[in-house]
A = this chain, B = another copy of it.
Amino acid sequence: MEDRINDLISEEIHEECGVFGVYNMVGEDVADSIYYGLFALQHRGQESCGIAVSDTLGPKGRVSSMKGMGLVNEVFTPEGLETLRGDIGVGHVRYSTAGASNIANTQPLVLNYVKGTLALAHNGNIINAPELRRELEYTGAIFQTTIDSEVIAYHIARERLKTANVEGAVRNAMMKIKGSYSLIVMSPRKLIGARDPFGFRPLCIGKKENMYILASESCALDAVNATFIRDVLPGEIVTITKEGILSDTSMCQPKMAKCIFEYIYFARPDSKIDKISVYNSRIMAGRILAQEHPVEADLVVGVPDSGNAAAMGFAMETGIPYGMAFVKNSYVGRTFIKPKQAIRESSVRIKLNVLTEAVKGKRVVMIDDSMVRGTTCARIVGMLKAAGATEVHVRISSPPFLYPCYFGTDVPSDDQLIAHNNTVEQICKIIDADSLGYLSVNRLSELIDGDLGYCDACFSGHYPIEPPTEDIRGEYEL
């Protein structure tokens, strides 16, 4: 799969969200740190972003927020950040999987309820949101967005009437919502992190001097020079206050279902998730690929940037030299103008060009992390051959996509998936490769040190929670 910047113009798979929260123990502003944290999580969502902060020292815990469509460095100006005064804060980057892409749907959601103000940032997908929403409406709720996160907010607000504190309300809400979620909730004086009992999406805790930090990935801790403390456990609720971190593990359960595709593609390679290095898991994917689909060749290359680590692993395992074959143009931004039909064919060379000198006359193994529709892959194979590669052997560091994902990614419905409609041989022919090999489903656990608590439903169809009977994504839009 091409990486995310390229995805802005192609049609590939997206993660939906990244979340980042900060609690400063000594009253200093946190908006700057959140800005850098979100910037490090930009790969998890490029459509919109937002920050909300609470000023615990000000009157009544004043909450300020700023949200907008676009990248972190487009939405936040120095003057804008300046207005976000507060020592607790939560930020969000978003790619929409549920709810349309518009300003009303940006996060964090900021709301007033019986106990004051609440801000909520959510990564995941609530599969029983439509039912819950209907229930809420039948008791008089009104909805001003089309995101499932508003359903979570309502449940927290309603449970808060019955509970002694906001973390209790979060726990009670978790008993009702089903699906994937890593959640950061900011009340005027607390910062709460929660992860669904299956642990679909990552969430970790860091510390830097007087700050506690919650982040989707550990790379965001590095960005602000914070130290990784530990992952939030699947099902755990952590509450950060002046007194420190409190943990509630009453919702934890034995069965886990961490998204394996976080390791294969979504997460940044410099992150660790649940103690496993993403980089190492990709190196391992490359090694397994080499074991499963060996080939004689002169050069191993990765499709940048996400294919590089697996290519490195393939090279290590086989001894075939690893090399660069591509130059990527990183300047593509939100308003990049798509080529018209007339020059459409050349479009992929606008984002990605081949280093002719590197591949001419060589038998090339080309590693990508996944294949959705196959069109991009076919173009890249064509470019390599046009540059003089004598053979192109495609290796995909994941199994074929066969089933839609209901837990927070936009793996599309079956009929758009090339692997759903074609055999490996047919696909190989379609993309004009000399050979094609996928990673086996049954070796996926080796990517994460043999751990079995992962979800591979998009490859296997084994959903850890009964999926909804119809595709719920985008259902709320009329």
B331 touches A42 (CB 8 A): yes
A141 touches B144 (CB 8 A): no
Given the complex, which residues of B lie within 8 Å of A224, measured CB to CB?
A: 343, 346
Q: Which residues on A are within 8 Å of B, measured CB to CB?
A: 5, 32-33, 35-36, 39-40, 42-43, 46, 59-63, 71-74, 76-78, 81, 104, 109-114, 116-118, 134, 137-144, 146, 153-154, 157-158, 161, 188, 219, 222-225, 268-270, 277, 279-280, 308-309, 312, 316, 321-324, 327, 329-337, 339-340, 343, 345-346, 349-350, 353-358, 476, 478
- A270 and B350 in contact (CB under 8 A), knowing A112-B142, A112-B146? no
A478 touches B339 (CB 8 A): no
- A270 and B354 in contact (CB under 8 A), knowing A61-B478, A138-B161, A335-B77? yes
Given the complex, which residues of B lie within 8 Å of A140, measured CB to CB?
A: 113-114, 139, 141, 154, 157-158, 161
Q: Mind listing 12 A-B residue pairs with CB under 8 Å?
A: A32-B340, A33-B343, A39-B336, A40-B350, A62-B478, A77-B335, A81-B337, A113-B137, A113-B142, A223-B349, A268-B353, A316-B321
- A269 and B110 in contact (CB under 8 A), knowing A335-B77, A349-B225? no
* CA distance in complex: A434, B81 (Å): 41
- A478 and B32 in contact (CB under 8 A), knowing A40-B350, A143-B111? no
In the complex, the chain B residue whose C-beta lies closest to that of A60 is B478
Q: How far is the CB of A17 from chain B (nearest CB, A)?
A: 16
A476 touches B324 (CB 8 A): no
Q: How far is the CB of A434 from chain B (nearest CB, A)?
A: 23
Tell which of B76, B117, B312, B354 touches A323, judged by Cβ atoms closer than 8 Å.
Answer: B312
In the complex, the chain B residue whose C-beta lies closest to that of A326 is B270
In the complex, the chain B residue whose C-beta lies closest to that of A61 is B478
* CA distance in complex: A322, B308 (Å): 12
Q: What is the copy number of this chain in the assembly?
A: 4
Interface centre among A40, A138, A188, A331 (most CB of B within 10 A): A331
- A346 and B225 in contact (CB under 8 A), knowing A327-B219, A327-B270, A478-B62? yes
B114 touches A71 (CB 8 A): no
Given the complex, which residues of B lie within 8 Å of A161, measured CB to CB?
A: 138-140
Interface centre among A270, A277, A476 (most CB of B within 10 A): A270
- A270 and B322 in contact (CB under 8 A), knowing A33-B343, A138-B161, A224-B346? no
Q: How far is the CB of A95 from chain B (nearest CB, A)?
A: 13
Given the complex, which residues of B lie within 8 Å of A329, measured CB to CB?
A: 39-40, 42
Given the complex, which residues of B lie within 8 Å of A334, measured CB to CB?
A: 73
Given the complex, which residues of B lie within 8 Å of A63, measured CB to CB?
A: 478
A324 touches B309 (CB 8 A): yes
- A74 and B333 in contact (CB under 8 A), knowing A36-B350, A113-B142, A154-B140? yes
A71 touches B219 (CB 8 A): no
B327 touches A330 (CB 8 A): no
* CA distance in complex: A114, B133 (Å): 9
- A35 and B337 in contact (CB under 8 A), knowing A224-B343, A324-B312? yes
Q: How far is the CB of A205 from chain B (nearest CB, A)?
A: 18
A144 touches B111 (CB 8 A): yes
Q: How far is the CB of A210 from chain B (nearest CB, A)?
A: 12
* CA distance in complex: A137, B117 (Å): 12
Given the complex, which residues of B lie within 8 Å of A111, measured CB to CB?
A: 142-144
B349 touches A269 (CB 8 A): no
A350 touches B157 (CB 8 A): no
Given the complex, which residues of B lie within 8 Å of A32, measured CB to CB?
A: 337, 339-340, 343
Q: How far is the CB of A166 from chain B (nearest CB, A)?
A: 13
A355 touches B39 (CB 8 A): no
* CA distance in complex: A57, B99 (Å): 23
A222 touches B62 (CB 8 A): no
* CA distance in complex: A304, B352 (Å): 16
A327 touches B268 (CB 8 A): yes
* CA distance in complex: A339, B336 (Å): 27
* CA distance in complex: A141, B340 (Å): 41
* CA distance in complex: A177, B229 (Å): 52
Instruction: Report the 10 A-B pairs with minimum CB-CB distance, sorted nearest first.
Output: A140-B158, A225-B346, A114-B137, A112-B143, A330-B330, A111-B142, A270-B327, A73-B333, A42-B331, A73-B336
